[in-house]
Amino acid sequence: MSMVIRGGTIVTADLTYEADILIEDGKIAAIGKDLSGDKVIDADGCYVMPGGIDPHTHMEMPFMGTYSADDFEFGTKAAVSGGTTMVVDFCLPSPDQSLLEALQAWDNKSSKAVCDYSFHMAITSWSEQIFNEMKIVVEEKGINTFKHFMAYKGALMVDDDEMFASFSRCSELGAMPLVHAENGDVVATLQQRLLDAGNNGPEAHAYSRPVDVEGEACNRAIMIADMANVPLYIVHVSCEPAHEAIRRARQNGKRVFGEPLIQHLVLDDSEYANPDWDHAARRVMSPPFRSKLHQDGLWNGLASGSLQVVATDHCAFTSDQKRMGLGDFTKIPNGTGGLEDRMPLLWTYGVNTGRLTPNEFVAVTSTNIAKILNIYPRKGAILVGADADLVVWDLKASKTISAKHQVSSIDYNVFEGMEVTGLPRYTLSRGRIAAEEGVVLAKCGDGEFVPRKPYPAVNKALSKWKEITAPRKVERKAENMPAGV
Ligand code: URP
Ligand code: ZN
Ligand code: ZN
Ligand code: ZN
């Protein structure tokens, strides 16, 4: 059955124009005026944009003695209800676990997904086996990105020599490393000092992770990526020292990408001063929320292009799970939700305030990451032949965010009470209506794994430049040498 989206204004990362879209077999079959099909979707007065891609989620993730509460069913249902049509989750081997074994576990969990998904593979330890399996992961399993945690000492953290080895392997394989950039050694010491001083509430989580701890790690990761001739993607960039490191690297010709989260763009560190323990603990995530000054920097980075992608790091824990850290903030599971609210919040606080254009909104929610992850134009585009992952965006629709009406399975929402204007009327996942006015119609198993090919072009370019500029021995003739040598 064919379908036509009629009467809308198409908004892509680079164009805005009025046209209908014909969908056949889950793909965009034609774009033009007065198209007809078996079923018609009314987009009158709406923008039609590429569905959102959230490149940073943790569904049912084993972490800090528990599992994140939203699994692939609730997580992806939350996604489509808010206009997101693809998520990229982190496959997380426990240290020394085989990457392939962990991938099997993620394959099993993700079979419930209602929209398309892909995986990043985390490198949580280093060995010959991991080195060998990385090749299989890239060449046979459709994964071209590897995540490294510079924080969470004693759990997921890797140190510099492990990162350098893994980044170098990424370079050989045409893959890209990702980093969670915080200096885990310093964080661990600051945590202990705070606890020793009796500072055990959720606000101490923020005190233990100052902005320079993030900035230092960003600079270090950028240097290591440069030495390994590989591009670098820095997740959840939250502050100016980190942004500054990325900006400087890019100005110096390095291929470094930065991903702020919607949480850091709209919430600030005053949340941790809330007298209600639960309120503050629910907002414990790493890096923590920052002051308004840093927030403005992130918005400016999105507008100017020094930051490219807005994600959620959706890692939802219930209030009961957060209470594992009563009396010791280091035991509060780190993470917050955001999948169903990312697009409406970014529209409201970005486009409706003039900080972003609608085209920039599409770029940072979909197209840029599709290009970075090498799935463009199958995803992130409105072009003939692309997957019909689309959102029909009602500019006038509004709501107040509340846990009472959310899809996510947890009992609160960190954006509770915030008003948003601009909501999806329809979310289409490969041509199927996955959600209508927030109501999820998609079913478990509707989602498919999206394989991502290696992308050696940037890595080759970096290696070539390194080869040309490598230190070389100066060959001197005998007549130019001191006598007697
Ligand atoms: O606090 C966070 N961000 N939790 C999820 C794991 C991570 O660091 O991305
Ligand atoms: Zn080491
Ligand atoms: Zn992280
Ligand atoms: Zn994360």
Q: What's phi and psi for 324, nearest 5 deg? A: -60, -20
Q: Is 421 contained in some domain?
A: no
Ligand 1 pocket mutation, candidates 57, 64, 236, criterion most atoms within 8 A of CB: 236
Contact 148, 180 (CB under 8 A): yes
Stretch 93-117: mean pLDDT: 96
d(CA 45, CA 43): 6
Q: State the CATH number of the domain containing residue 266.
A: 3.20.20.140
Q: What is the ipTM of this complex?
A: 0.95
Tokens of 470: 């490598």
**Between 19 and 468, the higher pLDDT residue:** 19
Which residues have C-beta within 8 Å of that of residue 229, sequence separation ≥ 6? Answer: 168, 171, 459, 462, 463, 466
Whole-number Å distance, alpha carbon 88 to ligand 1 midpoint, is: 14
Q: Is the pLDDT of residue 370 over 80?
A: yes
pLDDT per residue as tens digits for the range 76-85: 999 999 999 9
CA-proximal residue: ligand 1, atom 3 (nearest): 286
HSE, side-chain direction, 13 A CA sphere, residue 15: 9
Residue 137 in domain: yes
Cα gap 94→62, rounded to integer Å = 9
Encoded tokens for 178? 């990702």
CA quadruple 185, 191, 194, 198: dihedral sign: negative
Domain that holds residue 134: 51-380+396-415+455-461
The CA 150 to ligand 3 mean position distance, Å, reads 9
pLDDT tens digits along 18-75: 999 999 999 999 999 999 999 999 999 999 999 999 999 999 999 999 999 999 999 9
Residue 385 makes CB contacts below 8 A (sequence gap 6+) with 27, 28, 377
Best of 285, 314, 322, 410 for a ligand 1 pocket test (most atoms within 8 Å of beta carbon): 285
Please report, rounded to a whole number, the percentage of residues in the chain having pLDDT higher than 70.
Answer: 100
Distance 125 CA to ligand 2 centre (A): 10
CA of 246 to the centre of ligand 1 (A): 20
Q: Answer whether residue 456 shows pLDDT above 80.
A: no
- Count of the separate structural domains present in the chain: 1
Distance in Å, CA 140 to ligand 1 centroid: 28
Q: Does the pLDDT of residue 225 top 90, yes or no?
A: yes
Closest ligand 1 atom number to CA of residue 235: 9
Q: What is the mean pLDDT of residues 353-365?
A: 98
For the chain, the distance separating the N- and C-terminal CA atoms, rounded to the nearest angstrom, is 84
pLDDT at 361: 98
How far is the C-alpha of 410 from the C-alpha of 19, rounded, in Å?
40
| Contact (CB, 8 A) for 288 and 205 | yes
Closest Cα partner for 300 from 363, 240, 210, 232?
240
Ligand nearest to the CA of 155: 1
Q: Which pLDDT value is given to residue 484?
A: 77
Task: Kindly tell me the burial class for residue 200, based on how many C-beta atoms sit within 10 Å of its own C-beta (0-12, 13-18, 19 or more).
Answer: middle
Q: CA of 21: how far to CAs of 18, 67, 306, 378, 420, in Å?
A: 10, 41, 33, 16, 27
| Maximum alpha-carbon separation in the chain | 91
* Ligand 3 centroid, distance to 84 Cα (angstroms): 21
Quote the percentage of the chain above a pLDDT of 90: 95
Point out the least confidently predicted range of 28-32, 77-81, 460-464, 480-484: 460-464
The residue whose CA is least distant from atom 7 of ligand 1 is: 286
Q: How many CB atoms lie within 10 A of CB 357?
A: 14
CB contact burial 145-168 (16+ within 10 A = b; e otherwise) = bbbbbbbbbeebbbeeebbbbbbb
CA of 458 relative to ligand 4 center, distance in Å = 25
pLDDT range class, residue 424, cuts 50, 70, 90: very high
pLDDT reported for residue 95: 85
| Helices 128-139/99-110 angle, 10° precision | 40
Phi, psi of 57 (to 5 degrees): -135, 160
List of E strands, 125-222: 145-149, 176-180
Considering every ligand atom, which ligand is closest to the CA of 165? 2
26 CA to centre of ligand 1 in angstroms:
34
Nearest CA to ligand 1 atom 4: 335
Nearest-angstrom CA–CA distance, 155 and 149: 9
In one letter, which amino acid is 238? S
Tell the residue nearest (CA) to atom 9 of ligand 1: 313
Atom of ligand 1 nearest to the CA of 152: 8
Ligand nearest to the CA of 127: 2
pLDDT band at 485 (very low <50, low <70, confident <90, very high): low
**Block residue for tokens 């661990």:** 188
The four Cα atoms 49, 301, 373, 117 give a dihedral, to 10 degrees, of: -60
**449 within domain boundaries:** no
Query: In whole angstroms, how far apart are CA 19 and each of 15, 25, 39, 429?
Result: 12, 20, 16, 20
Pocket lined around ligand 1, Cβ cut-off 6 Å: 58, 180, 236, 285-286, 313, 315, 334-335
Question: Does residue 440 fall inside a structural domain?
Answer: no
**Confidence at residue 458, expressed as pLDDT on a 0 to 100 scale:** 78
CA-334 nearest atom, ligand 1: 1
Let me know if residue 426 belongs to a domain. Answer: no
List the single range of 9-13, 91-95, 310-314 with lowest mean pLDDT.
Answer: 91-95
pLDDT in the model for residue 274:
98
pTM attached to this predicted model: 0.96
Residue type, 297: G
CB 279 within 8 A of CB 271: yes
